[in-house]
């Protein structure tokens, strides 16, 4: 999947479905330094404002983004759909790296290992590279078919809006 440029953004969200291993890689540039992009991913109040599709609302039960911490949150829609997610933070290095597990509670046996790397591009810009590795190609394909692409694209558009607002 190589998508068109996000609406309202000058940066493309690239989603790569690996053909050799059951993994998805996401690459995105933001017009903000790494410390701000990191904060948007680690502050639960900020995260709830941008993560996921525009059609959902996020409620954070707990979000302890530190090495050894954990999280659990809920996405809901106005139609009453609910989706709970949880995981553990394995490594957190401020403004550089987050390694975590990710589980959709609807399929609790399908756990992804995720790695988010932030690269300082200079001039107040950051490249984010996120990978999600799962157990099988079947699980990877279900992850992609679940609407993940819409959530990622719209979420990053919302993050662009939060950055542009100056609130970050």
Phi, then psi, of 109 in degrees rounded to 5: -85, -5
pLDDT for 83? 94
Query: What domains are there in the chain, each with its CATH number?
Result: 14-165 (3.30.530.20)
CB 20 within 8 A of CB 133: no
pLDDT at 114: 98
**Angle (nearest 5°) at CA 132 between 104 and 66:** 75
Q: Which helix (H) or strand (E) holds 86?
A: strand 82-93
Residue 8's pLDDT is: 52
Cα 123–132–120 angle (5° rounding)?
A: 10
- Residue pair 165/33 in contact (Cβ under 8 Å)? The answer is no
50-61 pLDDT, tens digit each: 999 999 999 999
Q: Give the pLDDT confidence of 133-158 residue by residue, as tens digits.
A: 999 999 999 888 888 899 999 999 99
Cα-based angle 105, 134, 96 (whole degrees, multiple of 5): 95
pLDDT at 5: 38
pLDDT at 9: 58
């Amino acid at each position: 999947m190589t998508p068109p440029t996000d609406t309202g953004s000058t940066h493309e969200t690239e989603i790569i479905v690996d053909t050799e291993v059951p993994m998805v890689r996401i690459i995105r540039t933001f017009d903000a330094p790494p410390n701000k992009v990191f904060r948007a991913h680690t502050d639960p109040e900020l995260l709830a404002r941008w993560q996921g599709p525009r059609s959902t609302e996020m409620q954070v039960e707990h979000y302890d983004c530190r090495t050894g911490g954990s999280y659990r949150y809920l996405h809901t829609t106005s139609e009453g759909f609910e989706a709970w997610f949880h995981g553990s933070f394995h490594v957190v290095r401020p403004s550089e790296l987050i390694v975590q597990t990710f589980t959709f509670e609807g399929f609790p046996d399908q756990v992804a290992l995720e790695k988010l790397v932030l690269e300082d591009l200079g001039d107040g810009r950051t490249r984010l590279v996120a990978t999600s590795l799962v157990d099988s190609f079947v699980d990877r394909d279900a992850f992609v078919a679940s609407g993940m692409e819409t959530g990622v694209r719209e979420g990053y558009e919302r993050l662009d809006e939060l950055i542009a607002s100056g609130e970050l």
